[in-house]
A and B are shown apart, each in its own frame.
Chain A
Amino acid sequence: MKHRSPLVTLAAVAVAFIIMFTVNMLVSPPGGSSAEPAGPSTSAPAQQTTSAAATPSASTSESTEDKTFPNKIVYAGRTDDKSGAIAVAVLGDQAAAYFCDGRSIESWLRGTVQVADIALKSNDGATLQASLDGDHLKGTVKIKNDRSKFEIDEAKKPAGLYRARGSKTTIGWIVLEDGSQVGIQTAAADSAAAPELNPESPQVTANGESLDAKPINGDEDL
Chain B
Amino acid sequence: MTSVPVPASEAPTAEPSGTKIGPVVIAFVVGSAVSIGLGVYGRLHTPTGYAVNIAGFSNGPAAKAFLASIVMALAILQIVTAMGIYGRIPLRGAWVSPLHRWSGRLAVLISVPVAVHCLYALGFQTYDGRVIAHSLFGCFFYGAFVFKMLILTRDDSPKWALPLAGGLVLSGLTALWITGVLYFLVA
A-to-B contact residues, CB < 8 Å: 1-7, 9-10, 12-13, 16-17, 20-21, 23-24, 27-29, 34-37, 81, 83, 103-106, 143-148, 189-193
Contacts and interface: CB of A to CB of B under 8 A. Distances in A.
Contact of B49 (A2, A7, A37, A189): A37
Given A16-B109, A190-B47, A191-B49, A103 B122 contact: yes
30 contacts: A3-B153, A6-B153, A10-B149, A10-B150, A12-B105, A12-B109, A17-B112, A20-B116, A20-B120, A21-B120, A23-B52, A24-B52, A28-B48, A28-B52, A34-B48, A35-B47, A35-B48, A37-B49, A103-B125, A104-B49, A104-B125, A105-B50, A143-B50, A145-B52, A146-B59, A147-B58, A148-B59, A191-B49, A192-B125, A192-B127
Main secondary structure of the interface of A (DSSP, over half): mixed
B150 A13 contact: no
B49 A9 contact: no
Interface residues of B, number: 39
B15 to A, nearest CB: 16
Contacts, number: 110
B153 to A, nearest CB: 5
A28 B149 contact: no
A103 B64 CA distance: 15
A9 B146 contact: no
